Amino acid sequence: MAQKTVHFETLGCRLNQDETEGAARSFLEEGFLTDLEPLTARSPIQENVALGVVNTCTVTGKAEQKARRIIRLLLEKCPNAVVIVTGCYAEVDPSSIKQIDEEKIAVLPGTKKYLLSSIAKNFSVNKNAELKKITIGNVEDLIESFCKEIESSKDESNTINTQNKKSNLKLDAFTLYTPVFEKHSRASIKIEDGCNNSCAFCRIHLARGKAVSLSVPDVLKRVKLLENNGVNEVVFTGVNLSQYSGLKYDDPSRKEQASFAELLTTLLAETKNIRFRISSFYPQYIDESFCNAIKDERVQPSFHLSIQSGSDRILSLMNRPYTAEVVLNAIRMIRNAKGNPFIACDIIAGFPGETEEDFALTKKMCEKASFSWIHAFPFSPRPGTVAYNMKPSIPERVKGERVAVLTDIAVKGKIAYINSFAGKKVTAIVENSRSLRLSKNNPFEKKYIHAVTSNFIHVQCEVSTLDIANCKYKPGDVVDIVIQKALEENIKSGAEIEALATVNC
pLDDT averaged per 10 residues in sequence order, the chain, 505 residues:
83 92 94 94 95 95 95 96 96 96 96 93 76 86 88 59 52 84 76 95 91 96 94 94 95 90 98 94 96 97 97 98 97 97 98 98 97 97 94 97 98 98 94 63 69 95 62 82 95 95 80
Q: How many domains does the chain have?
A: 3
pLDDT of the residue at 475: 85
In a domain, 461, yes or no: yes
Q: Is 171 contained in some domain?
A: no
CA distance linking residue 75 with residue 53, whole number of Å: 11
Angle, in degrees to the nearest 10, between helices 324-338 and 356-369: 10
Look at residue 463 in the predicted model and tell me its pLDDT. Answer: 76
Exposure string for 472-499, b = 16+ CB within 10 A, e = fewer: ebebbbebebbbbebbbebbeeeeeebb
Q: Are residues 354 and 450 in the same domain?
A: no
Look at residues 104, 103, 105, 110 and name the one whose alpha carbon lies nearest to residue 88: 110
Pairing state between β 105-107 and 187-190: unpaired
131 & 209 share domain: no
Q: Are 326 and 283 in contact (CB under 8 A)?
A: yes
* pLDDT given at position 179: 83
Q: Is the Cα dihedral 290, 295, 299, 300 positive or negative?
A: positive
CA–CA gap between residue 324 and residue 312 (Å, rounded): 6
Domain that residue 383 falls in? 187-419
Is residue 138 in some structural domain? yes
Residues 6+ apart with CB under 8 A from 257: 213, 245, 246, 247, 248
Tell me, what CATH number does 405's domain have? 3.80.30.20
Residue where one domain finishes, among candidates 419, 436, 458:
419
Same structural domain, 289 and 413: yes
Regarding whether 317 and 204 lie in a shared domain, the answer is yes
> Cα–Cα distance between 295 and 338 in angstroms, integer?
6
pLDDT value for 438: 47
Question: How would you class 356 by CB atoms within 10 Å of its CB: exposed for 0-12, middle for 13-18, buried for 19 or more?
Answer: exposed
Question: Residue 181's pLDDT is what?
Answer: 72
Same domain membership, residue 203 and residue 91: no
- Dihedral, 477, 481, 485, 491 alpha carbons, nearest 10: 10
Same domain flag for 295 and 367: yes
What is the structure's pLDDT at 35?
95
Q: What is the pLDDT of residue 263?
A: 98
Q: What is the pLDDT of residue 293?
A: 97
Give a yes or no: residue 91 inside a domain.
yes
DSSP letters for 139-158: HHHHHHHHHHHHHHTB-TTS
Give the amino acid at 265: T
Same domain, 125 and 219: no
Residues 225 and 359 in one domain: yes
The pLDDT of residue 167 is: 52
Q: Same domain for 213 and 307? A: yes
Pairing label, strands 187-190, 233-237 = parallel
Residue 493: CATH number of its domain = 2.40.50
Q: E strands of 289-340, at which residues?
A: 302-308
- DSSP tag of 466: S
